[in-house]
Structure 1
Amino acid sequence: MGISKTQYMGFYSTLQWTNIPSSLLGGFLVDRIGNRLSMPISTGLIAASHTLFAVGALFKNYWVMWVARALFGLVAAPSAIANDNLTVKWFQQSMLNMVMAMKTSLGRVCSVLTLNIMDPIYDFVSARTQPMYTLGVTLFTGSCCGLLCTLAAKLAAVIDRRSDVQKHIDHPPVAKDDSKKEESKFIRISDVRRFPSTFWLIAISSALFYLQLFPFVTQGELFFATKYSRSPKEANTINSMVYMVGAVSMPLFGVAIDRVGRNLYFLMTGLVLGLTSHIMMTFTFVEPYVCTVILGLGYSLVTTTCWPLVSYAVPLRYLGTAFGIMGTIISVGQAIDTYFVGFIVDTAGYMVLEVFFTMFNDSSCVVVFTGRVNRWPSESKYKTTCSFSQATCVRQTL
């Protein structure tokens, strides 16, 4: 298309910034209108926005593509939040950590698959179309994936509805008491003030961990090539070990956590592993493969535990809002952190950057280790106890 690298990166930064209001308001919207309606609508809009992106590429119009990316970011979050809500609803009593881990792992696998499959698709299309149409036609394959995603979301909504109807038949309600009426009320934005401090501790510690993880992977290839004098190909392989190890180990850790419990011990272990990896890369010349494998294991443990922990700290009817707020905190941190990382690399080098990452990881550990026991103050149906001192999180029905 003949666009500059700044314009090309604009597609990514636009998506990141628009994802902030999408996550913040999307969670509230999901809790307001329900998972079964939110997910098909959101995935349908995702498919439509990506189709607009492909149309812009077909006609070589950069600004149409830019608007399409902005729309993509604005409509994407409700789908992911509703998906997480249904996961908690279906698997809360067992296998929640494993299923959450498998979702993230499959997402990483599909990302790698997409990056490797797009070039062959482009070559296949270019051999059968005129060069001016090749990019646009190639991107239309994403629209097909979006359509399949919409159909899958609709199927999930139908299954969820049938399950609720069957539960209602098997266990009909005896009477509608005041607590049920209270629970059926629409949520309000002001209800966020009632979220326990445990939720905010989980969200902040996770955001601090991701502040060092994702920017490190972005800069990792050049870091390994510079400090360890590795070839660009080997440096890329070393850097990719973080996600490869995470994709493989997440389901395994999920099974272990579901069997053993002690969610917060696993979360603490993941944070310590991440901190250990950055200390090794900053102050030693230990084989970089070892460092990235340790960081990948830490990433796997943190991701496997932090999202399910939210469902223990917040009542189910507020879960979408909680997931949205947590995603917003992470997105805001990532959007701001990117500029600091670029500035540090340009002015101070990778040594200072690693100290910067170590500081974030250490702060995440401090947030978790200074937590206290919390309880949702006015929830009549559930008692949720999250003990950071005993590293446990338990949700009991009163």
Structure 2
Amino acid sequence: MAKPAEKAFYRFLVLFFNCLLTFGSYFCFDIPSVLQDQFQGNLTCLNSTVTNATVECVEGLGMTPQEYNLLYAIYAWTNALVVIMAGFLIDKLGNRFGVFLFSFLTVLGSTIFALGSHFKGTKYLLPLMLTGRLLFGSGNGSLTIVQNRITAFWFKGKELALAFGLTLAFSRLGSVLNFFLTQRFEAQFGMQWTLWGGTLLCVMGFVSAVVVSSLDKVGMKQLGLDGAIQAESRKVRVQDLRQLSLRYWLLVLTIMFFYNGIFPFIADASKFIQDKYSGYSQKEAAYIAGAVYDSSLVLSATVGILIDYVGRRGVFALGCAVLTLPVFALLAFTYVPPLVSTIWLGVTYSFAASSMWPSIPLIVPQATLGTAMGLATSVQMIGIGLSNLIVGQILGTTSSDAKIPLWRWQRMMVFMLANTVSCIVTSVLLNIVDHRQGGTLNKTTKKSAAEQPASPPDRDPLLEGEETPEERGVCRFPFHQQQLETGTGKSWRWMLKGNRGFTPPPSCLRIRSLPAGLETPVNSV
């Protein structure tokens, strides 16, 4: 009789609570984008007037555009510094350690950020809010790594892209609700209560962390994998980073350049729409900017199913970059309604997120997946942080009560175009290198898994049929397996076929120990 953890219902139950981990934190992340006018508004409005239903003077925290963009930059920079160490710690200490620690940091960071709003007009405002964003970024970026690692483990060789797509959809549901509800909530209850509401949603994420940790622990014990995975995790070393292939680094650069055109744009999109296009209120501009997330919310699950079926992840990554080019050109040089561009950007974003991030578990060992995800997130956040700083410089330092000149917005869009062109270049190189190394990224997860027997859970990439660096180099020999029965389980030694007396070099010799009862691994290291 099948154990509960072996059934599809159980892994999708894990996925549901895993998705809720970042729902509240993604809601909080873009609150400043929706309330940009309030963050950059004047400290007092003694003689405010209303023209065409638009308030000429907006009372707020008095931040300059540079200080406002710094809220996003410090989030990105903190991610860049923390997630590498976080990924390594997750690989060493496990998902359950990471999910508790990092969900707590999101709660702590959002609490300090909300507390900072109570110091309006004082020298403590900016330091407190930056400290809150720093802690929030430390938790949220690292929490995403744990989330992806849990998803990759439970959906290995199954509905991997669908699971990643649903995870993205839940996160983006938080972002979408932020764009729809935050401005209304702020108008009725004020900025301070709005920020505290975001903190409450982060607390919900912490509760989800408790649930998903329990489900993960019980499930792995039922599958008999808890001890084996912990043993492999203890073997993870910093030197393992040298095994990350050129494909991995090209994929990381592709992710970075693509996201450089997404998050920095969304951070300033609401004000851009109000400045360039006439007749849009703050609420309407927020809705239009949020259409990027609306599109990804609607499409993510469907796109995940499609990519699971057809594969072609490398091709999709290239196609997303190419199709994003016209978006920033339209925004920079035409007056086509902005909703067209934001929906278009949301569609390409959906395909990119469902094809790029799920590709990482396919080309790195499961035992080092947290570290690999951490490095990818770090590089991504370095790029986003630099982009936020550059955008802040391009837009200038004037207060938000005056429109930013159109030529400055055009320069910002040209900068986004440059990032998209760079993404095209790296994705082309990624497909070339992947083709030369077996075309892993353009295979279908389910088809590849069906062609191969089950493999050990922690030492292989999630897509079988891969050649390791040893197999591509000095160890390109026909191997066979010799099964040895031991008192603690089963071990496999990989030896040269036809010459039992030959001792391969150390890099060609692998010893694998698995709990009794696991299936024989495939005939490739």
Match of 1:355 in 2: 414
Identity %: 27
2:309 to 247, 259, 281: 259
Match of 2:426 in 1: 367
Gaps (5+ residues) in structure 1?
A: 127-133, 376-383
How far apart are the structure 2 equivalents of 1:290 and 1:172? Answer: 49
Match of 2:242 in 1: 193
CA contact (8 A) 1:198 1:386 kept: no
In structure 2, do the counterparts of structure 1 residues 369 and 33 end up closer, same or farther at CA, with 3 Å as the change threshold? Answer: same
1:210 aligns with 2:259: yes
Gaps (5+ residues) in structure 2?
A: 1-38, 44-60, 397-404, 449-462, 465-520
Match of 1:106 in 2: 170
**Which 4+ stretches in 1 moved above 6 angstroms?**
123-126
In structure 2, do the counterparts of structure 1 residues 285 and 69 end up closer, same or farther at CA, with 3 Å as the change threshold? Answer: closer
Secondary structure of the 2:262 match is: helix
Larger CA deviation: 259-268 vs 2-11: 2-11
Deviations 1:69-101 (A, max 9, x none): 322223333322111100111112222212212
Deviations 1:235-291 (A, max 9, x none): 555443322222211221111111222222222221121123334445666554433
Secondary structure of the 1:5 match is: coil
TM-score normalised by structure 1 residue count: 0.80
TM-score normalised by structure 2 residue count: 0.62
Shift of 1:117: 4.0
CA contact (8 A) 1:215 1:341 kept: yes
In structure 2, do the counterparts of structure 1 residues 185 and 157 end up closer, same or farther at CA, with 3 Å as the change threshold? Answer: same
How far apart are the structure 2 equivalents of 1:121 and 1:279? Answer: 34
CA contact (8 A) 1:238 1:288 kept: yes
Give the length in aligned residue pairs: 373
1:80 aligns with 2:144: yes
Match of 2:481 in 1: none
How far apart are the structure 2 equivalents of 1:352 and 1:50? Answer: 33
1:48 to 105, 108, 114: 108
CA contact (8 A) 1:264 1:392 kept: no
Deviations 1:345-375 (A, max 9, x none): 4595333433332222122111111234459
1:32 aligns with 2:81: no
In structure 2, do the counterparts of structure 1 residues 146 and 242 end up closer, same or farther at CA, with 3 Å as the change threshold? Answer: closer
1:299 aligns with 2:349: yes
Describe how 1:165-244 pairs up with structure 2 within 5 A: 165-168=221-224, 183-221=232-270, 223-224=272-273, 229-233=277-281, 236-244=286-294
Match of 2:21 in 1: none
Larger CA deviation: 281-290 vs 256-265: 281-290
CA contact (8 A) 2:304 2:354 kept: yes
CA contact (8 A) 2:176 2:293 kept: no
One-letter identity of the residue aligned with 2:328: H
How far apart are the structure 1 equivalents of 2:215 and 2:231? Answer: 27
In structure 2, do the counterparts of structure 1 residues 269 and 125 end up closer, same or farther at CA, with 3 Å as the change threshold? Answer: closer
CA contact (8 A) 2:92 2:233 kept: no
How far apart are the structure 2 equivalents of 1:349 and 1:200? Answer: 33
Match of 1:160 in 2: 216
How far apart are the structure 2 equivalents of 1:160 and 1:223? Answer: 44
How far apart are the structure 1 equivalents of 2:185 and 2:338? Answer: 34
